[in-house]
Structure 1
Amino acid sequence: MSRLRDGAYAMPPKQLKQVLNEQLPDGWARLFRTFDVNPIAAASIGQVHRVHLKDGRDLALKIQYPGVANSIGSDVANVGVLIKMSGLLPDGFELAPYLEAARQQLHDETDYIQEAGQVFRFGQLLKDEPQFAVPAVHTDWSNSKILAMDYMAGGAIEDVAAEPQAIRNQVITDLISLALSELFEFGVMQTDPNFANYLYAPQTRKIVLLDFGAVLKIDPRTADKYRRLICAGLQSDTDDLMIAAQDMGVIDATTGGAHRARIVQMIQQVFNMIRDGGAIDFADQTLSKQLQAEGLALYKDGFLPPVLPVEILLIQRKFAGLFLLGARLGARVDVEDILRAHSGIIR
């Protein structure tokens, strides 16, 4: 994935100049002291270039690929066809709601004016948190297709794996704490845990947050559901855990009794590790493999999952991504303390 990120498609200079001519005022080039035509980052929707303006500003310009917004619908539909052709989905699985959610999110991510507002919002939310850095937006060079922000120095977040254990632990602690603050305090969450959305500046020990295209507004009722789930899990209350799982849409009235019990047991396994293990070693894949085996057994036994609410799905994507990053860094973190601190659940 790192090689794919670093080697993604980039617009050739001629096409890049055409896009800039269409999106920026006449004479824009005269205001630049330097413009690196080689992107410093490239992804599926756009690419990022470092520029120095003659007024002294050092900026990162996020430039959208031409026509990408118009192709999202057909691209998502094609992905749906490929998934169905794979034969991996159980009979009766409702794929359409997930494809529609993906289409809508990708469309939202093409609106750089909306993203600029989220960058500003998170900058304000985190202005007193010294462990994080959020770039400032420069509105005079931004529009719906170009987003101009401060250039932020730092290395790939995966490079933290070479840092001492204490630093690796602290980075994951900070990111989990941020996700829980988003869920329980901010009411908004950046739900895309792509490693490329983070940088780490070893000189300042700051985590740089780069991308806010996939920001989700969280219903307070959803936050309460998570709080009840955490409370039931940490107290090993199987009955309340069953209720919480149903409230969140993980199981529903159509889920058979044996499947319900197995799913709740899987959730409790996670909380048992959190509650009983002290600092969790994210590099230890024992539980992950156990859960994969349990999931496969459910699939073979004919379990048909209900359509999960998109809000829950996106929040879970964020937590799953942080788990993967923790494994990549080999972090060891006391997750129970973090959960209790942010959810308000006392021992």
Structure 2
Amino acid sequence: MRSTSDPGEASAMRIRTLSRMAKMSAIPLGVGRRMAVAGGLKALGRLTDESSLKLHERTADQLFEVLGGLKGGAMKFGQVLSVYETVLPPPISAVYRERLARLQEAATPEDVRQVLEEDLGPAWQNLFASFDDAPASAASLGQVHRAVWRDGRPVAVKVQYPDAREQLLGDRDLTIFAMRWFTSLIAPELDGRALATDLMDRLAEELDYAQEAEAQTAFRAGFQADPDFVIPEVVHQQGRVLVSEWIDGTPLARIIAAGTQEQRDRAGLLLTRLMFAAIPRTGMMHGDPHPGNFRLFDDGRLGVLDFGAMYRHTPGTPSPFEKWMHIHLAETPEELVRVLRELEFLRPGVRADGAELMELFEHSGAPARTETFRFDGPYLRDTLAGMTSSMSVALSLAFPPDFVHAQRAMGVGIGVLCQLEAEVPFQQEALRWLTESAEGDALSG
């Protein structure tokens, strides 16, 4: 595999990145950006109103012109956008989605065959009864092809783009810059740099298909006895190629677009169960739970794909969802302050107003306090509005070092539940799995 050890090549890559960053910084947001940063959700309301459609069209055109050379970064940027789609009016989100789609070009058959030959050997075709050159779908750093394994099993062949590593490392600074800039426009109350940096770190992990195969195998073992989930078996892995069982089912994006309420609620229930059950069963949490990674079967099972970016939990410590539930189930200001200090969200010596903290978590914690909760756009908007109005209080909190990745995964998962507009017994699922996890820890101790 080609590397960037050549100083001249590395220098040229850096110059290209700096050039594109310069173009990015010249994008004329003008009053729009300053309003968003200074006015939070109040300005966001004006920026996301359909009357500002032309502003977003101009911004999207220039943004994606600058990002035109990215592959993995552009794909991941699209996943960030999908989180905001529930908050943005459909015409606004459609502007960015349509422009982004232009960047997602498939690798050529020659590129794919080059990787297969280099990593599986010159006789790679002997491994397959048939192989479809046309990609079935695109991943962040590669694409998936449909094939038939030599034993007759339908398989999905995930092939990394030939220069994925070089492109990712070379475009890292630009992609972080672009995501941070976009977040400041759309959701100024979020820490765009932390979000973008974590996304790029996780993206770098996705280059390691051996690690992904190991995580997928662990998930399959952990959910093997559960009739509600389908985790495809790893058939073969070598270098930049990962071969898994092919699974069918309806893509979750199609359920979001046109599914029945019964399908939405079923998918929402199983997504919630996956979030809470994964760590007790596997020691990991799916780190990239966007709609493209799930399939709903006609019999109600949920298929789960893509195990490249996983949150790996430290045994013997509270899980991210356990922390989330403890914080949101605190009944008094005094209890909330105590919980936040115990979980290291409040550093020693930092003064905190418990009543203001209760207000900060009021909207986000509604699912934890409700027997059956309906996730939707208004819930997400109210949560963001609550964060903005209490920003000075939020700044007194410090996320533990291992919580940023988990927080993003949890946020994306909850965002997908809102896209589904699913009604879910969230509290019941949370308490069930957190109780089982605590009992398991007690027995193992």
TM-score with structure 1 setting the length: 0.83
Matches within 5 A, 1:63-212: 63-82=159-178, 88=184, 101-139=198-236, 142-161=237-256, 162-202=258-298, 204-212=299-307
* Residue of structure 2 in register with 1:39 after alignment: 135
- Superposed CA deviations along residues 144-185 of structure 1, whole A, max 9, x for unmatched, are 200001111122113234444333222211221121112345
**Could you tell me which of 115, 118, 127 is aligned with 1:19?**
115
Farther off after superposition, 186-195 or 205-214: 186-195
> What letter is aligned with 1:119?
Q
Decide which moves more: 13-22 or 234-243.
234-243
> CA 1:313–1:272 in 2, change beyond 3 Å: closer, same or farther?
same
Structure 1 contact 245–264 (Cα < 8 Å) conserved? no
Q: Secondary structure at 1:61's aligned position in 2?
A: strand
- Shift of the 88–228 alpha-carbon distance from structure 1 to 2, 3 Å rule, reads closer
Tell me the secondary structure at the aligned position of residue 63 of structure 1: strand
Q: Secondary structure at the match of 1:241?
A: helix
Preserved contact between residue 48 and residue 62 of structure 1 (Cα < 8 Å): yes
Question: Which residue of the other structure, out of 289, 292, 299, is the alignment partner of 2:384?
Answer: 292
Letter in structure 2 aligned against 1:291: T
Deviation at 1:73, TM superposition (A): 2.8
d(CA) in 2 for partners of 1:296 and 1:228?
Answer: 22
One-letter amino acid matched to 2:307? F
Counterpart residue number, 1:213: 308
Paired residues of 2:219 and 2:282 also in contact (CA < 8 A): no
- Any idea what SS the aligned residue of 1:147 has? strand
Across the two proteins, how many residue pairs are aligned to each other?
Answer: 338
**Secondary structure of the equivalent of 1:26?**
coil
Which amino acid letter does the alignment assign opposite residue 404 of structure 2?
A: L
Quick one: structure 1 residues 226 and 36, their matched pair in 2 at CA, closer, same or farther if it must change by over 3 Å? closer
Distance 1:6 1:128, change over 3 A: farther
2:399 to 297, 308, 312: 308
Alpha-carbon distance in structure 2 between the residues aligned to 1:68 and 1:278 = 45
In 1: Cα distance, 2:372 partner to 2:431 partner: 14
C-alpha change, 1:123 and 1:256, in structure 2 (3 Å) is same
Shift of residue 114, structure 1, vs aligned partner: 1.0
Tell me which residue corresponds to 1:266: 360
Structure 2 vs 1, CA of residues 72 and 144 (structure 1 numbering), >3 Å: closer, same or farther? same
Task: For residue 116 of structure 1, report the CA deviation from its aligned partner.
Answer: 0.7
Partner of residue 145 from structure 2, selected from 49, 59, 62: 49
Q: Give me the whole-angstrom Cα distance separating, in 1, the residues matched to 2:155 and 2:302.
A: 18
Give SS of 1:39's match: strand
Displacement after TM superposition at 1:229 (Å): 5.0
What percent of counterpart residues are identical? 23
Q: Secondary structure of 2:148's partner?
A: strand
1:214 aligned partner, one-letter code: A
8 Å Cα contact 2:129-2:149 kept in structure 1: yes
Alpha-carbon distance in structure 2 between the residues aligned to 1:62 and 1:319? 26
Q: Relative to structure 1, is the Cα distance of residues 205 and 164 closer, same or farther in structure 2, using a 3 angstrom cutoff?
A: same
Deviations 1:291-327 (A, max 9, x none): 322322344x596466633532222222222222222
Does 2:426 match 1:332? no
* Kept after mapping to 2: 8 A contact 1:225/1:247: no
SS of the residue 1:52 aligns to: strand
**What amino acid maps onto 2:364 in structure 1?**
V
Give SS of 1:38's match: strand
RMSD between superposed Cα atoms in Å: 3.4
Gaps of at least 5 residues in structure 1 are none
SS at match of 2:402: helix
Which TM-score applies when normalising by structure 2? 0.66
- Pair 1:278 & 2:349 matched: no
Give how far 1:24 is off: 1.7
Q: Which residue type is aligned with residue 417 of structure 2?
A: G
Q: Which amino acid aligns with 1:149?
A: S
Q: 1:36: how far off?
A: 1.3
**What residue identity is the alignment partner of 2:153?**
R
Q: Which runs of 5+ in 2 are unaligned?
A: 1-81, 83-96, 439-445
Amino acid paired to 2:426: V
Residue 316 to residue 330, structure 1, CA distance change in 2 (3 Å): same
Classify the secondary structure of the residue corresponding to 1:223.
Answer: coil
Distance in 1 between residues matched to 2:164 and 2:423, nearest whole Å: 40
CA shift for structure 1 position 103: 4.1
More helix by share: 2
Per-residue deviation, 1:228: 5.6
Structure 2: distance between partners of 1:307 and 1:272: 22
- The Cα of 1:224 is off from its aligned counterpart by 5.7
Cα drift, residue 30 of structure 1: 4.5
Shift of 1:289: 2.3
Amino acid of the residue matched to residue 264 of structure 2?
R
Instruction: Please state whether the residue corresponding to 1:66 is helix, strand or coil.
Output: coil
2:340·2:346 contact (CA, 8 Å) conserved in 1? yes
CA distance in 2, matches of 1:121, 1:272: 32
